[in-house]
Amino acid sequence: MPKLSEPEVRDAIVDLPGWRAFADGLHKEFKFRGFRAAIAFVNRMAERASAKGHHPDIEIHFNRVIVSLTTHDQGGITEKDVELAREIERVAEPGDD
């Protein structure tokens, strides 16, 4: 899957609120009610990511989860990252971020 150009990335994430593109990756910080809600989100996200064979970088800070997506073998953002960002949005519970 080829690396997306900067304009392609901007177009691809227009419908993904809160996602930003920088440093060859897509990034978003999710905020939750507490630690358990954050971990539950990470577990839901991990299932979707594993099913797609894609593995995000994840930082957990009590009630915040920072997700970073990149396709390492392409050296940047591909459609695979955009697709996983959409999946992640679907498993984030309404009102959690």
pTM metric for this prediction: 0.90
Q: Tell me if 19 is assigned to some domain.
A: yes
Residue 76 lies in a domain: yes
Please, which residues have CB within 8 angstroms of residue 3's CB and are 6 or more apart in sequence? 71, 74, 75, 76, 77, 78
| Residues 63-83, mean pLDDT to the nearest whole number | 95
14 lies in which domain range? 6-91
Tell me the per-residue pLDDT of 20-37, one tens digit each, with 9 for 90 and over. 999 999 999 999 999 999
Beta bridge partners of 60: 65
Q: Are 1 and 78 in contact (CB under 8 A)?
A: yes
What does the pLDDT read at residue 94? 52
- Residue 32's CATH number: 3.30.1360.20
The chain-wide mean pLDDT, for the chain, equals 93
- For 9, counting Cβ atoms within 10 Å of its Cβ (0-12 exposed, 13-18 middle, 19+ buried), the class is buried
Q: How many domains does the chain have?
A: 1
For the residues 76-95, what does the mean pLDDT come to? 90
Q: Please say whether the dihedral angle defined by the alpha carbons of residues 84, 85, 87 and 91, taken in this order, is positive or negative.
A: positive
Does the residue 1 lie in any domain? no
